[in-house]
Homo-oligomer: A and B are copies of this chain.
């Protein structure tokens, strides 16, 4: 069963240990921010710092694990047909649009979509960590300068994850113009049994 995350929205759900999650870019060039929490104790959550440390890489793709702040494996990446994801940048938030886009008006954001989806699980806005940004194309040069470029993902590209513990997962269809080449599109996902 394909679940649809409409453009500029988010969803949260439980994923059992051993279940697989397939996150699909149905039209291409669309980012999905993902955060993870231990379903038994939400103080344990996905950590970019722990993941980059244990995986010894800025770029995280097939074969890599996503680690928690308690140094435990939360997900394994089984397949990645696109191969480019980001784990450096925080989810876009209202301040992102004010500060970086010079837009003082209301703008939907991954941060709002993540914390709104996670509220039923008792997770507060301050508890939302840096997300694993699926399909996000953040380039860096040798001096560390970062640029957010259009995603390289094409229609139908997907990343397949396997839960290593019982999880609460939140996913978005990213709301930031720079992350999806200025055109907001949906994200699809499927939960596959072990």
Contact = CB atoms under 8 A, between A and B. Distances in A.
Interface of A: 43-44, 47-50, 52-54, 56-59, 69-71, 88-91, 93, 95-96, 99-100, 124, 126, 128-131, 140, 142-147
Given A52-B90, A58-B144, 5 more contacts: A43-B124, A43-B126, A53-B89, A58-B140, A70-B95
A146 B99 contact: no
14 contacts: A47-B130, A48-B48, A48-B49, A49-B91, A52-B89, A53-B100, A57-B146, A58-B145, A59-B144, A70-B126, A71-B95, A71-B96, A140-B140, A142-B142
B69 A126 contact: yes
A96 B99 CA distance: 36
Copies of the protein in its oligomer: 2
Contacts of A95: 70-71
B90 A47 contact: yes
Contacts of A140: 58, 140, 144
A100 B52 CA distance: 12
A56 B145 contact: yes
Contact of A54 (B58, B100, B143): B100
Contacts of A145: 56-58
A116 to B, nearest CB: 17
A90 B90 CA distance: 16
Given A126-B43, A126-B44, A126-B69, A59 B90 contact: no
A126 B70 CA distance: 8
Nearest to A53: B89
A130 to B, nearest CB: 3
Contact of A59 (B58, B96, B99, B143): B143
